[in-house]
Copies of this chain bind each other. A is one copy, B any other.
Amino acid sequence: MPTKIIETVPNFSEGRRVEVVQAIVEAVRSTSGGARVLDISSDPDHNRSVLTMAGEEEQIRASILRLFEAALQHIDLRTHRGEHPRLGAVDVVPFVPVKGVAMADCVRLARSLGEEIAGRFQVPVYLYEEAATAEHRRNLAEIRKGEFEGLPRKMKDPLWAPDFGPSEPHPAAGATVIGGREFLIAFNVNLSTADVQIADRIARAIRHSSGGLRYCKAMGVILSERRIAQVSINMVNFKKTPLHRVVEMVKSEAARYGVNVVGSEIVGLVPQDALLAAAGFYLGLEDFHGSQVLENRLAEPGD
């Protein structure tokens, strides 16, 4: 296993034409010296696909350049329709520090790769989140407002000049948003009630936007088959807002409605550190270090 790992989760604007998705994924997967493709997920309603990849910086760089090449060859946003807001053929590319890598490294990668993409493909690039060059450009939703169709006008506004590349959108591929962010854990907590309003109230209590934990987004949903309500959570920085604090707060809020937590689930991937931190909290571990995990010791460079 490489000792320095970056994750990237590029979103591209095709989720209906299976043969196009396959062609793009195959191009990325076969990149020589490229990153490991861990997951592919396409949504026909959104008309959009999400790739999850991980590897060392140079592998990530090679795979993302190949993705742009393939996406620009196959996608024309002038004929693209879908429910999910989008700005470009390759819509957004976040870099996530996973192991032996700092956020600063991901920001540096976002900037240098953003510049290279703008130059090579003539696609305007916006930097977002940790890589943003101004406060009003941190938030992806703000950058994407007006979408592909609104780009020619939006780009005339000096506040929305791109960070790299031409001052007009690429005719078919629009613009791209690139940046650095923390690992996102999709974490759902199931309740002993079918009343979605209770899940909603708990979600409001724990989430940042309504006064709760800083790096927590949440909403109430109903699992109709199991007939239980669920607090559906995005943990956007598990190092600062850890899993155990969210679970304990959900339990405490649920208690006032006479409701229990009946279970939870992690959707997709989770960094080992997030679970070690939960074990450490509940077991009360003092001075524990990840290198005490046997598998980690074996993965360290040899002696």
Write the residues of chain A forming the contact surface with B, with a CB cutoff of 8 angstroms. 1-2, 5, 7, 29, 36-38, 54, 98-99, 183, 189-190, 243-244, 247, 261-266, 268-272, 275-276, 278-288, 292-299, 302-303
Which residues of B are found within 8 Å of A294, using beta-carbon distances? 5, 7, 38, 54, 98, 183, 269-272
A263 touches B286 (CB 8 A): yes
Which residues of B are found within 8 Å of A285, using beta-carbon distances? 263-266
Would you mind naming 26 contact pairs between A and B with Cβ atoms under 8 Å apart?
A1-B295, A5-B294, A5-B298, A36-B302, A37-B303, A38-B297, A54-B294, A189-B284, A244-B282, A247-B283, A247-B284, A263-B285, A263-B286, A264-B284, A264-B286, A265-B285, A266-B285, A266-B288, A269-B294, A270-B293, A271-B295, A272-B272, A276-B279, A295-B295, A295-B296, A299-B299
- State the 8 A-B residue pairs at the shortest beta-carbon distance, nearest first: A282-B282, A278-B279, A275-B279, A263-B286, A279-B279, A269-B294, A264-B284, A272-B295
- Within the oligomer, what is the number of copies of this chain? 2
Which residues of B are found within 8 Å of A5, using beta-carbon distances? 294-295, 298
Which residues of B are found within 8 Å of A298, using beta-carbon distances? 1-2, 5, 36, 38, 54
Not counting A1-B298, A38-B294, A281-B282, a sample of 13 additional A-B residue pairs whose C-beta atoms are within 8 angstroms of each other reads: A1-B295, A54-B294, A99-B295, A247-B284, A263-B286, A264-B285, A265-B286, A265-B287, A266-B288, A268-B292, A270-B293, A275-B275, A279-B279
| In the complex with contacts A1-B298, A266-B292, A283-B278 CB distance below 8 A | yes
Question: A201 CA to B98 CA in the complex, in Å?
Answer: 44
Residue of B nearest to A5 (CB): B298
State how many angstroms separate the Cβ of A188 from the closest Cβ of chain B: 9
Question: A29 CA to B302 CA in the complex, in Å?
Answer: 11
* Most chain B Cβ neighbours within 10 Å, of A37, A268, A270: A270
* Most chain B Cβ neighbours within 10 Å, of A5, A183, A264, A295: A295
Residue of B nearest to A282 (CB): B282
Question: A300 CA to B303 CA in the complex, in Å?
Answer: 23
Question: A263 CA to B216 CA in the complex, in Å?
Answer: 28
